[in-house]
Each structure stands twice: as structure tokens, then as C-alpha cells.
Amino acid sequence: MLEARPLPARLRPLVAVTLVLLAGLTGCQRSSDGPPAAAAPAVVPVAMPSAGLPDFASLVARVGPAVVNITSVTPGTQVAGPMEEGPFGDFFKRFGMPRPQFETPPQRGEGSGFIVDADGIILTNAHVVGSGSEVTVRLTDRREFTAKVVGIDKRTDVAVLRIAAKGLPTVKLGNPEALLPGQWVLAIGSPFGFDNSVTAGIVSAKSRALPDENFTPFIQTDVAVNPGNSGGPLFNLAGEVVGINSQIYSRTGGYMGLSFAIPIDLVVYVKDQLLATGKVQRGRIGVTIQEVDQQLADSFGLDRPHGALVSGVEDGSPADKAGVVAGDVITGLEGVAIDRSSELPARVSRLKPGSTATLEVWRDRARRSVKLTIGELEEPVAKVANAGKQARGGRLGLAVRMLSADERKARRVAGGVLVEEVTGPAAEAGLEPGDIVLGVNGRRINAPEQLRDAAASGKPVALLVQRGDTQLFVALRPAP
């Protein structure tokens, strides 16, 4: 038989606390002399996402082989030595002696790119290619190819390359318009030369305008991008390229959480024109614009700050002919609202020259529509010949570009290419910047490719050159 014994005094407080806790766990209890005790608060489960963080491994395995490393070598240039000026310079001039020249060492640049066509078409940044005479593409399987520069568009920082290969892995292109701030994105590139490095982040904002970048509505992300990532693809979670990583905002030269990508739809627009014609046509309307702030909105009677305020109109421009005046606020183009002034140049530039467009304008506190004919924005440099070897300007030592319609009219020529820079064989033969090469080996030319192809054989070529009102033949032997 069990015998009841009193609890030792030292254990009585512990038992009392235990009984209190047990009473709390039993829910609502009614005491013999008071109201019901308060119920314990219900435990609310924390909502967990149906899936955790994205697993990028399968995406990288699928798209990584289409990302390439790009190396560009810019040759050294001849510069005057320290005796070029001063008494020593006078000495050389007086006695007709050749002045000392020194060559700067070649410069090497590195970046990224991606394959968009299985037959060797690659996209990258224009600043990755630069003025390099030798561009090398390295695939993930470590094969290397010398690339031909099909075209460069400096305004959008886009370059198109071609390599002699077939059956290459390619990327799929997506729709950057469908991107939303906060969505995951992924970058693959070669930061600091580390091939196929993968970084991830989210879209921070869209349609960002940067200083001196009027034609590109950048995608802002917080993806880690560093030197060498330039030209590489920005992927969405479907494995589609939505942009080309192009720039960072940094006070140190390294990544600081702000990176910018060129939307892929704009890149494709540029690529298609470079492949078709070697240059990019852009629309223009001929206005100077500025942002509308709250004070300007109040003064013009707008309900809020939006649109692009016209501060100047070029004489004879499409806008001038259509009656656009300073003080107009352009609030829409072809039915698409213009919220910020930075949106207008990018949208106008993608309109075909010669087409008709409608502007929505706020004038005298009322809305009105203005129809105009889109003009063409003249490009200062359309395309530079690239022979793939030797010094800047290729084997002939010539850097040339196509002539605009106005230039052909002013020079009274039907075709030809304009010489912009001479080195090597061209300089030795006496060619000068500003000369127009009309023909090569008895055939008329109209594009830089024709000049480059003529030099490919390595045999001497005869150039028909116009200088001022005079035409002359100049014989060149291409550099090896």
C-alpha cells in the first residue's frame, strides 16, 4: 500500500509553477468563485511560399553554353616623341630629318557576348569591340574563333559579330516589356576574365535614362555586374534574354548595386538593320526638350508633371513644318503616353524616316493632335571597316565609313566611302582623312566591305580617290 507523505518544502514552489503552466495549457477553465479564465491566443501559421528561392542551376546548364568570352586587341598608335616640340624639334625640321616616332603598346579589352544564330551571329556591346582590329571569341568548350565585326552602333552600344562556325548553341529572346520591378533576373558573363560567372538579382526599375544616353530606356537591376560582364546576357527565369548588360553606376569602378541593361527588343531592332544595311536608320523630329516639374506643370495648366516640354524647334525640321512651337508639351506619340521627357527620343528614333506620325500636344491649356513626317537622324559614323588583322584600319591602313545622302550631294559623287583615318600602307601612299575612295581595281564601291574584301587577297590594289575636285589613282600593297 502506498503511503501519502507531505511534499518537501523545497519542492513546493516548483510544483506551484508547474500547476499554473498546466492550467494555461488546458484552455478555458472555470474557477469555483470567478468568471471564466481568458482563452489562450490562437497560433496563426506563417504563410510560406509554395516554392522557395529559384534554383538557377538548371537554367544555367541550359543557356550557359551560348554565352561567350570576347577579347579585343587595339593596336598601338604612332605618337611624337618628347623631342617633337622645342629646340630639338626645330633641329629636325631645319635639316629635313625624320622626326622620332614612338608606338604605344597595344591595348587589350575583354567582355562577354551571346550567340543568337546557330551559324555564328553574336551580340555584344560596341564598347567591348571598340576600335580593335583583332576580335577573338572563345566558347565554353574553349574553342576560339577570330570574329568579323558585322556592324557597330555606338548610340545604343550594340555590336554584331560573326564567326565561322555552324550548329552553335543559341539563346532564346524574351520580351522586356513583360518585365516587372521585383522579378528575378540572371546575368552570365566574364567579370575580370572569370568565364561564365553567374550572378542573380531582381529588376529594380525600367526605362531608366542615363546621361548622354538618349536612345536607350535601360533596365535597372541589382545583379552584380563588373568589368568583363559588359555585352553579356540578362536572363529572366524562363531562360530568355531580356537585355544586354552594359553599364554600372559606381564611385569606385566596381559593383555598387546599380547595373543597367539594354532592352533586347531595341538590340534586335539595331541588329536587324546592321545585318541588312550595315547601318541604323533613326527617326527625328527636330526638337529640344526638357523635363516637366511641378512648377512648370502648374504654369502650363497640367494636372500633374508629365510629358516632354519643347524648349526649342530646329528651323526646317519636321516639327517646325508641322507647326510645333516652343512651349508645347508633348504628352503622347502614336497613341502611347509620354510620361517623362527621356521616353520621347527613344520612341522617335524607332520610327521609320519618311513615315507619318501623330503627336499629342498640350498647348494653351488644351489638348491637340499634330501630324508630321518623320525625318532621318544623321549618324556621324555609320560603320568602320575591319579587316580582322593588322593595325587600326585593317590591312590597307584605312578606316572608312559610308557617305550620307547629304554628303554625296555636297561632294557631287554617286557612291564611294569616306576616309576617316589613315595608318600604315595608306599613310605611306599619301592618303588623307577626308578623301573619298570611289573605286578599287577598276570597280566602283559603295560600302566598306567592298574595300576590305579587295584587300583580303593580299595583292596590291589600285584605289580611285577623289580629293576636293580632283580624282587620282593610288596603289596600295596590303600589310601581311
Contact call for residues 327 and 302 (beta carbons, < 8 A): no
Inform me whether the pLDDT recorded for 131 exceeds 80: no
Indicate which residue of 72, 133, 204, 230 is catalytic. 230
Rounded percentage of the chain residues whose pLDDT exceeds 70: 78
Entry pTM: 0.64
Cα–Cα distance measured from residue 244 to residue 259, given in angstroms and rounded to the nearest whole number: 11
Domain 59-162: give its CATH code: 2.40.10.10
Mean pLDDT, to the nearest integer, of 141-155?
93
Inform me whether the pLDDT recorded for 33 exceeds 50: no
Q: What angle do CA 463, 464, 468 make, to 5 degrees?
A: 130
Mean pLDDT, to the nearest integer, of 57-61?
94
Residue 457 among the catalytic residues: no
The residue among 97, 152, 85, 92 whose CA lies nearest residue 122 is: 152
From 113-117, 168-172, 281-285, 406-410, the region with the lowest mean pLDDT: 406-410
Q: What is the CATH superfamily name and number for domain 398-476? A: PDZ domain (2.30.42.10)
Indicate which residue of 127, 222, 317, 453 is catalytic. 127
Cα–Cα distance measured from residue 125 to residue 104, given in angstroms and rounded to the nearest whole number: 25
Class of 172-277 in CATH: mainly beta
Inform me whether the pLDDT recorded for 95 exceeds 60: no
The residue among 338, 318, 320, 321 whose CA lies nearest residue 329 is: 338
Inform me whether the pLDDT recorded for 207 exceeds 60: yes
Name residue 440's amino acid: V
Which pLDDT belongs to residue 30?
A: 38
Confidence of residue 322 (pLDDT cuts 50, 70, 90): very high
Residue 127 among the catalytic residues: yes
Cα–Cα distance measured from residue 292 to residue 302, given in angstroms and rounded to the nearest whole number: 10
Indicate which residue of 72, 112, 157, 435 is catalytic. 157
> What residue ranges do the domains of the chain occupy?
59-162, 172-277, 283-376, 398-476
Is the domain covering 283-376 a CATH 3.40.50.620 domain? Answer: no
Which phi and psi (to 5°) does residue 329 adopt? -115, 115
Burial 138-166 (b: 16+ CB within 10 A, else e): ebeeeeebebbbbbbbebbbbbbbbbeee
Which phi and psi (to 5°) does residue 215 adopt? -110, 10
The residue among 161, 168, 202, 153 whose CA lies nearest residue 182 is: 202
Inform me whether the pLDDT recorded for 25 exceeds 70: no
Which pLDDT belongs to residue 257?
A: 85
Cα–Cα distance measured from residue 14 to residue 308, given in angstroms and rounded to the nearest whole number: 77
Mean pLDDT of the chain: 81
Q: Would you call 298 helix, strand, or coil by DSSP?
A: helix
Which pLDDT belongs to residue 320?
A: 94
Residue 195 among the catalytic residues: no
Which pLDDT belongs to residue 264?
A: 96
Which pLDDT belongs to residue 231?
A: 95
pLDDT one-digit tens code per residue, 368-415: 999 999 999 876 543 333 333 333 456 788 888 888 777 787 778 888
Mean pLDDT, to the nearest integer, of 320-332?
94
Examine domains 283-376 and 398-476 and report if their fold is the same: yes
pLDDT one-digit tens code per residue, 242-266: 999 998 887 777 778 899 999 999 9
